[in-house]
């Protein structure tokens, strides 16, 4: 019963994959198809990603940190603008090939829901997608940032003004 519900949830997802590397977009697309996702859209740069969000209204975006025109950080700053951008609450899984703590912190600050270091596995991708579907986190204001509610309790002051 639960498996059928999860399959239906995955099947109904609309996912946008934003990555400048066509091979990695194709690989992510294949993983998503194998997980049961039926509606997958692609973009090769940050501006195309913003246009695709407006056009296809995805449920989730999987985006590379490094992209031409606008990088992942710049795209997130635009997306996380309630009142200015139509889908400010869009769940985002950020991909990167650099797993530095500073990169993770920067991604969290700009409002990323999940962060994955390449290469990613289908199982890890599935876990992140299910986490977004089954445990959606409300968006909150943290100073000038608009972010998903942190999983662990932190003082917003700690987030805004780290030690």
**Domain containing residue 45: CATH number:** 3.40.50.2300
Identify the domain containing residue 75 by its residue range: 2-160
Successive 10-residue mean pLDDT values, the chain, 163 residues? 74 95 96 95 97 97 95 95 92 91 88 93 93 90 86 54 47
Our count of domains for the chain comes to 1
- pLDDT for 7 equals 81
d(C-alpha 115, C-alpha 133), whole Å: 16
- pLDDT for 4 equals 78
Q: What's the predicted TM-score (pTM) here? A: 0.89
């Amino acid at each position: 019963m639960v498996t059928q519900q999860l399959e239906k949830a995955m099947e109904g997802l609309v996912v946008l994959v934003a990555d400048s590397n066509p091979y990695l977009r194709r690989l992510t697309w294949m993983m998503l198809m194998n997980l049961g996702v039926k509606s997958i859209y692609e973009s090769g740069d940050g501006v195309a990603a913003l246009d695709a969000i407006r056009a296809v209204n995805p449920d989730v975006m999987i985006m590379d940190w490094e992209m031409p025109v606008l990088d992942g950080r710049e795209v997130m700053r635009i997306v996380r603008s309630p009142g200015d951008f139509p889908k400010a609450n869009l769940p985002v899984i950020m991909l990167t090939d650099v797993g530095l703590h500073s990169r993770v912190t920067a991604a969290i600050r700009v409002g990323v829901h999940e962060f994955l270091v390449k290469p990613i596995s289908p199982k890890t991708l599935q876990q992140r997608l299910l986490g977004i579907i089954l445990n959606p986190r409300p968006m909150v204001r943290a100073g000038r940032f608009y972010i998903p509610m942190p999983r662990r309790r932190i003082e917003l002051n700690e987030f805004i003004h780290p030690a």
